[in-house]
Homo-oligomer: A and B are copies of this chain.
């Protein structure tokens, strides 16, 4: 498949992008996360899930708004889940997706020039 099926979810923590030079490994890990969201379809999926009632959305509600085929949507959702940004909860016939709390904020904190204040220090 096109995505790595066995990566540690989000090894990037308090990576000081702007404070000191990133190592090759740090840069690779961070780029893996960024590549996961550097796609219009996946960005829209994230915002659709986040804005949905209850913070979770059924896959069947995500196919039409994107204008993409069902296999393609399923593929993008898998990428986001593998990246540790979404959780998948299969209830009966339907699959419900929800944001992983703090995942996007951790990413934002790494990019931020100022020291991350939006996350509890326990995140490190």
CA distance A22 to B43 in the complex (A): 8
Contact A18 B50 (CB under 8 A): yes
6 tightest Cβ-Cβ pairs between the two chains A and B: A34-B38, A27-B40, A108-B108, A108-B112, A108-B111, A38-B38
The number of residues on chain A lying at the interface, defined by a beta carbon within 8 Å of a beta carbon of chain B, is 42
Contact B118 A19 (CB under 8 A): no
Contact B99 A107 (CB under 8 A): no
Q: How far is the CB of A38 from chain B (nearest CB, A)?
A: 4
Q: Which chain A residues have a beta carbon within 8 Å of chain B's beta carbons?
A: 16-22, 24, 27-28, 30-31, 34-35, 37-41, 43-44, 46-48, 50-51, 65, 99, 101-102, 104-105, 107-114, 117-118
Look across to chain B and name the residue whose beta carbon is closest to the beta carbon of A107: B111
CA distance A35 to B40 in the complex (A): 10
With a cutoff of 8 Å between Cβ atoms, the chain B residues found around residue A39 in the complex are 31
Contact B27 A104 (CB under 8 A): no
Q: How far is the CB of A72 from chain B (nearest CB, A)?
A: 15
Beyond A34-B34, A104-B112, 11 extra complex contacts between A and B, CB < 8 Å = A18-B51, A19-B47, A21-B51, A22-B43, A27-B41, A38-B38, A50-B113, A102-B113, A105-B114, A108-B108, A108-B110
